Amino acid sequence: MPAEAAMPALLECRDVSVRFGGVLALAEVDFTVARGAIAALIGPNGAGKTTLLNAITGMAPIYGGVIRFAGADITAMPPHRRSKAGVVRTFQNLEIFSNMTVLENVMTGAHRRVKYNLLDAVFKTPRYFRAEKQCVGVAMDCLEFVGLAAARDLPAGELPFGNQRLLELARGIAAAPELLLLDEPAAGLNMKETRQLGALISRIRDERGVTIALVEHDMDLVMSISDEITVLQYGQELAKGTPAAIQRNPKVVAAYLGDDEDGDDDRGAGRANA
């Protein structure tokens, strides 16, 4: 684990429980992400991984427990305030604006950094133009970082699927997050694209100083980039540890790492709380 990960936790989920009607989707789950770390959540269908991300972002109200971010209790904070505080996420399914250009998509993330009001936008004040120029600069920097600068003027819907995944990451880092939550970022990618994605995620942490938590089924990716892994089973924690420790854990090996039939996790819960 990098030296930064020895610092106090950026995210702390303590005894977090989530109910959907009479179903207990998460039962007193603890999940901690050290500042500067890459932390992974793994588990099979219905384990509660995406549900936990939804709880962290405020998209799923919790039944019990507490969530702290940067030392502050955000348990009752609405989603937009969590985003403003620095919690940014991507989704299992692509959420790009296909009718907008690549640059415009990333600018939607960059707008969190700038300040102008509705009147500025309506009357096109000097402050509005300064802010828009700043947004373009931020967006282009992020596109260059992920390797999509040459595609800035293309409609986002015309990008190959793998590049659309990169576009989501560019938009995410354009929002200047402290914590970036990635929900199955490798879904739909081939082996080469997944390796490139892993290198990019590590660069986001190392070069941009962003703490990362990801839900992912690709075990090669998880094991290669994660500092710590939490394993969920039926909404409860089964194991926690370094990649090496998780690989040696017989319960984890038997229950998950040998199972290629996981599919996509918590899709119903993710859509229900989107």
pLDDT at 267 over 90: no
pLDDT tens digits for range 149-197: 999 999 999 999 999 999 999 999 999 999 999 999 999 999 999 999 9
Instruction: Please give the Cα distance from 28 to 211 (Å, whole number).
Output: 23
Strand stretches in the chain, DSSP E: 9-20, 23-34, 38-42, 64-69, 72-73, 87-89, 179-183, 211-215, 228-233, 236-241
The pLDDT confidence band at residue 131, using thresholds 50, 70 and 90, is confident
User: Could you give the percent of the chain with pLDDT greater than 90?
Assistant: 74
- Do 3 and 53 lie in one domain? The reply is yes
- Other Cβ atoms within 10 Å of 168 Cβ, number: 22
Nearest to 52 by CA among 248, 231, 253, 249: 231
Q: Residue 184 is part of a domain; what is its CATH number?
A: 3.40.50.300
Confidence at residue 272, expressed as pLDDT on a 0 to 100 scale = 33
Give the pLDDT confidence of 33-55 residue by residue, as tens digits.
Answer: 999 999 999 998 889 999 999 99
Of 191, 103, 202, nearest in space to 148 by CA: 103
Out of 145, 176, 207, a domain closes at: 176
Range of the domain at 62: 1-86+177-274
User: What average pLDDT score do residues 59-77 get?
Assistant: 96
pLDDT tens by residue, 98-121: 999 999 999 999 877 777 666 656
Distances (CA, A) of 214 to 75, 98, 110, 181, 201: 20, 24, 22, 6, 10
Answer yes or no: do 167 and 184 share one domain. Answer: no
Q: Which of 133-142, 149-158, 161-170, 253-262 has the lowest mean pLDDT?
A: 253-262
- Distance CA(231)–CA(256), nearest Å, equals 9
pLDDT digits (tens, 9 = 90+) for 225-235: 999 999 999 99
Please check whether residue 31 is in contact with residue 11, taking contact to mean a CB–CB distance below 8 angstroms. Answer: yes
Q: What is the pTM of this model?
A: 0.87
- The pLDDT score that the predictor gives to residue 261 is 43
* Separation of alpha carbons 265 and 274, rounded Å: 15
Say whether both 10 and 138 belong to one domain. no
**Residue 85 and residue 170: Cα distance in Å, rounded?**
19
